[in-house]
Amino acid sequence: MNDLGRDLELRLVRYFTVVAEHQHFGRAAADLHVAQPALSRQIQRLEKYLGTRLLDRTSQGTRLTPAGRTFLPRAQALLQAAREAEVAVRELARSERITIGYVEDLVITTVVRELRHRHPDAEITTRHLSCRDVGALPDRRVDALIARTPLPLAADDVSTTPLYEEPRMLVVPRGHPLAGRASVTAEELAGQEAAPCAFETADWTSYRILGAGVPQIESYEDKLELVASGRAIAVLPVGDRRSSLRPDLVTVPIEGAPPSQVVLAGRRGDPNPMLKSLRLGARAVLTKS
């Protein structure tokens, strides 16, 4: 009589196949890291469930009964099918997972919402990165990066998708000679000494602090404090609204400056299928005409 109302336990099936392989309870118990008496009890449970003996003990160890010889290949196939099912599900779970990095002032809520709409069961996480931390993409701490160019990453290592561009603005303290201007030109700022960003690679980076003797500062808030104190002025994308939260700062449009470009970057050749959907979603909700 078998255990009525219970399903066949894969653990018991595995125990049986190991004993059959070793033809010895002691060696099988050592392989399975279980006590020999406990293993014997589990095999007895399996035999009770099936309603027949599977193994006979002999002076040399154990041997399969006719029922055991019939059951063994089917038991091995059952365990193999279970392993394949587990691998398939785990691979699907890995393919439905993505971490999106984003930097500075960028807001990616609409992108994440669109991606979750497209993949409701996926694991989608975000990670805010500082100016110095965009190396999270090649380091595989994030799978994709939404940031402003230029990126301090080797062009051969990343693929980029342009999303949109924004003009530049000048940020100065109230009372500054340029504070009352309707606009300034790029030529007027050309002679200003610049404090480089941590990854500055071109004359027009997205975030630029101008002023004689200005030190390199990592914190955005400290940069604004430097501007508010009158020691520097800043060039920022117009989409960065953080400076408008300070009543002691004024923004002035800049004419003739190249725009700040926002891109989606990923590791070149990354097989993660979520990346394609992210690109489509980001372009759908972020691309500006």
Q: What confidence tens digit (pLDDT) does each residue in 12-35 have? A: 999 999 999 999 999 999 999 999
Q: Enter the DSSP assignment of 200.
A: -
What does the pLDDT average to over 77-87? 90
pLDDT at 183 over 50: yes
What does the pLDDT average to over 67-85? 94
Residue with tokens 């009770």: 48
Residue 76 identity (one-letter amino acid): Q
Specify the range with the lowest mean pLDDT, choosing from 86-95, 149-158, 185-194. 86-95
What does the pLDDT average to over 47-61? 91
Which secondary-structure segment (H or E) carries 249? strand 249-255
The CA-atom distances, in angstroms, between 286 and each of 87, 144, 163 are: 36, 15, 6
Specify the range with the lowest mean pLDDT, choosing from 49-63, 189-203, 246-260. 189-203
Q: How confident is the model at residue 134 (pLDDT cuts 50, 70, 90)?
A: confident
Q: What is the dihedral of CA 266, 288, 178, 202, to 10 degrees?
A: 30
Q: Residue 217 and residue 166: Cα distance in Å, rounded?
A: 24
pLDDT at 241 over 90: no
What's the predicted TM-score (pTM) here? 0.62
Q: How many CB atoms lie within 10 A of CB 198?
A: 15
The CA-atom distances, in angstroms, between 80 and each of 75, 76, 149 are: 9, 6, 50
Strands 184-185 and 249-255 turn out to be parallel
Q: How confident is the model at residue 228 (pLDDT cuts 50, 70, 90)?
A: very high
